[in-house]
Amino acid sequence: MITHRTSNRTILSLIGGAAAIAVAITAFAMGDGPAHAQVAAKVESQTRPNFGVLLDPPTRGSRNRRSQHRRYDYGQHRPDWRPGPLRPGGEEIVLIDCGGNPGTGAVEDAVRRVRPGGTLVIRARGGACVGWLNIDKPLTIIGEGGFDPRDWGSNPEPTLMAPDGLPCMTVSQGVRVEIRDMIFASPRAGDAACIVSYGAEIVLNRVAFRHGGDEAAIYADGGLVDIRNAIIDAQTIAPAIVADGAVLNAHELAVTGAQSGLEIAPAGGQTSRLSNVTLKGTGAPNAFGPRSIGIVIRSGREYGRVEIENTAVLGYVEGVAIEGASVNIANSRIGRSDKGVVLYNGELRLTDSRIRASEVGVAAASGHAVVANNVFSGVREVIYAESRASVEASGNRVWSQYLCRAQFRDRYRGRYEPYWRDGDGWQCMYGAYPQNWWESEDGLLGLPYQDDGYQLDGYRDYQSGIGYYTREGQYVRDVGTLVRERPRRIASGPFSRGGRRGGFLGSLFLLRNSASIP
């Protein structure tokens, strides 16, 4: 009931509320479909059901108990903390066991699974993995079985075998790959090399290659090849390793089977180094196929440098050929060759080494060469230099039956003595060539000992004062020569011309003493 005391504002509010209710009822009556609750309210009712007084209000102790069961407490980060970038996809270490099943693509898929900088472990218990590894990211490849170069004679099974006509591995530009304890096999490579790289860095340690084809076992166009404790058996007419504009560092490397050993076009500004390397050639003549050269160093766009130390180059027509670079050879051995070192152009420094050649020890067509304190054996000419070449030779020793033949000069009364003429920067050595030197040279090829030293018949007795030589160099053994020579030596002193018993009386004295000798 509205009395006269009710204010006008209250009356207006009541009338407005009644009108709103009437409008709502009218809209509900005129609606075509059923009424629906709000979605937010529905979700709220499902996620937080109202249990009334059954819910206890949260307390500080309950909040602390829940936080103790969290594995990570994200609230401990600083306000300015931001998570780092996501790591690239892939696995850190991938182990692949191919089991000798070719054509499955398992080893190629394993390379794709490894993340950049990861490690690929290859297991070859059931047989070698057959595939072509295309490396386009930094990677480390390890053979699970391991490899010891000293066990190469036991013919170990390969770890990775290349498909016919394809390489074992290709490495993209700018990628660094480290390979350990692996045995590569490419018996039917054809025109493909086993490892091909373009501007990449390849580091090999305790690896071996069995390669058969028309190309090199390792071909590097730019970049770096560092190979240590390795064996390469390359049945090819090409060099076993080709480094074209690349830096080649080799230590404890053995190369067999290839018609040529190493071909290096050194990069400018960096030095390629070979130490403790053994190259065994086939001894094929130059009349068939490419030239048989142990180490050929070619000129590139830039003038490079190569250092060779404690290296054996055996069984090649030319031991080392230099075609436009700076090369230093020290404490090395070159054997079973026609020409030891050939300098076509560039610079050569050859010191403290042994060169065994059938024709020329050092041949220089042009350039500058320093040849000092070396041993030459079996040569017909120690140093040959054309007009465009300059050679500085000193302190070299020679064992040669051709160069070191004795010449004979008249001593007295038709008796001749031997003498040797020293060459320019070298001198002949009398006696046998040391056999222990032979064993570390041609003996490594399984050849029997051959003495290149010149042996003059009866020379040791002649040095003791027994016998003499004829003009033709024939030794005449005469035991009385030692006694008969004594008056002559006296006559050359006080009994010579101008002495007390010189001239005719001195001659009579000599004849009388000679006749008294039985």
User: Which amino acid is located at 66 in the chain?
Assistant: R
Residue 223, SS3? coil
288 pLDDT tier (thresholds 50, 70, 90): low
- 344 in the same domain as 226: yes
Identify the pLDDT of residue 373: 97
Cβ neighbour number for residue 220 with a 10 Å cutoff: 27
- 298 in the same domain as 149: yes
Distance of CA 41 to the CA centre of its chain: 76
Q: Is residue 228 part of a domain?
A: yes
Q: Is residue 340 part of a domain?
A: yes
Residue with tokens 């030095």: 271
Identify the pLDDT of residue 496: 38
Q: How far apart are CA 339 and CA 296, in angstroms?
A: 13
Cβ neighbour number for residue 151 with a 10 Å cutoff: 11
- 387 in the same domain as 487: no
Q: Is residue 90 part of a domain?
A: no
User: Which amino acid is located at 430 in the chain?
Assistant: Y
Is the pTM higher than 0.85? The answer reads no
397 pLDDT tier (thresholds 50, 70, 90): very high
Cβ neighbour number for residue 61 with a 10 Å cutoff: 7
- 503 in the same domain as 358: no
pLDDT digits (tens, 9 = 90+) for 370-380: 999 999 999 99
What mean pLDDT do residues 232-255 have? 95
CATH of the domain at 345: 2.160.20.10
Q: How far apart are CA 42 and CA 495, in angstroms?
A: 145
- 485 in the same domain as 395: no
Rounded alpha-carbon distances, angstroms, from residue 308 to 190, 278, 329, 332: 31, 11, 5, 8
- 351 in the same domain as 248: yes
Last residue of a domain, one of 399, 434, 465: 399
- 337 in the same domain as 195: yes
Identify the pLDDT of residue 101: 64
Q: How far apart are CA 461 and CA 395, in angstroms?
A: 29
pLDDT digits (tens, 9 = 90+) for 19-72: 656 655 555 445 555 555 555 445 444 444 454 444 444 444 444 444 444 443
- 517 against 439, higher pLDDT: 439
Which residues make Cβ contacts (< 8 Å) with residue 465, sequence separation at least 6?
481, 482, 485
Tell me the sheet residues that pair with 417.
409
* pLDDT winner (highest mean) among 178-182, 287-291, 440-444: 178-182
Q: How far apart are CA 248 and CA 230, in angstroms?
A: 14
Q: How far apart are CA 351 and CA 366, in angstroms?
A: 19
pLDDT above 90 (res 436):
yes
pLDDT digits (tens, 9 = 90+) for 77-128: 555 655 555 455 578 899 988 766 666 788 888 999 999 999 999 988 878 8
Q: What is the mean pLDDT of the chain?
A: 80
Identify the pLDDT of residue 464: 84
Q: Is residue 105 part of a domain?
A: no
Identify the pLDDT of residue 465: 83
pLDDT digits (tens, 9 = 90+) for 181-238: 999 999 999 999 999 999 999 999 999 999 999 999 999 999 999 999 999 999 999 9
The DSSP line for 483-501 is: HHHHHHHHHTTTTSTTSTT
Q: How far apart are CA 61 and CA 58, in angstroms?
A: 8
Identify the pLDDT of residue 273: 97
- 508 in the same domain as 375: no
Identify the pLDDT of residue 475: 87
pLDDT above 60 (res 310):
yes
Q: Is residue 242 part of a domain?
A: yes
- 307 against 22, higher pLDDT: 307
∠ CA 248-253-258 to the nearest 5 degrees?
90
pLDDT above 60 (res 303):
yes
pLDDT above 60 (res 388):
yes
Q: Comparing C-alpha atoms, which of 210, 205, 137 is closest to residue 175? A: 137
- 264 in the same domain as 174: yes
Is there a contact between 218 and 192 (Cβ–Cβ < 8 Å)?
no
Identify the pLDDT of residue 125: 80
Distance of CA 381 to the CA centre of its chain: 33
Token pair for 268: 């400018």
Is there a contact between 205 and 228 (Cβ–Cβ < 8 Å)?
yes
The DSSP line for 404-464 is: T--EEEEEETTEEEEE---BTTEEE--SPPPHHHHHTTGGGGTPPP---S---TTHHHHHT
Rg (CA), the chain: 46
Last residue of a domain, one of 399, 427, 461: 399
Q: Is residue 26 part of a domain?
A: no
Q: Is residue 50 part of a domain?
A: no
What mean pLDDT do residues 264-283 have? 91
Which residues make Cβ contacts (< 8 Å) with residue 493, sequence separation at least 6?
499
- 395 in the same domain as 485: no
User: Which amino acid is located at 292 in the chain?
Assistant: S
Distance of CA 355 to the CA centre of its chain: 23
Q: Give the range of the structural domain holding residue 355, as residue numbers without chain letter.
A: 124-399
- 507 in the same domain as 365: no
- 291 in the same domain as 160: yes
- Please give the torsion angle defined by the CA atoms of residues 15, 17, 18 and 21, in that order, rounded to the nearest 10 degrees: 160
406 pLDDT tier (thresholds 50, 70, 90): confident
Which burial class, exposed, middle or buried, applies to 392 when counting CB atoms under 10 A from its CB (0-12, 13-18, 19+)?
A: exposed
Residue 237, SS3? coil
What mean pLDDT do residues 165-194 have? 94
Identify the pLDDT of residue 30: 53
Q: Is residue 245 part of a domain?
A: yes
Last residue of a domain, one of 347, 378, 399: 399
Token pair for 165: 């006509």
Q: What's the total number of domains in the chain? A: 2
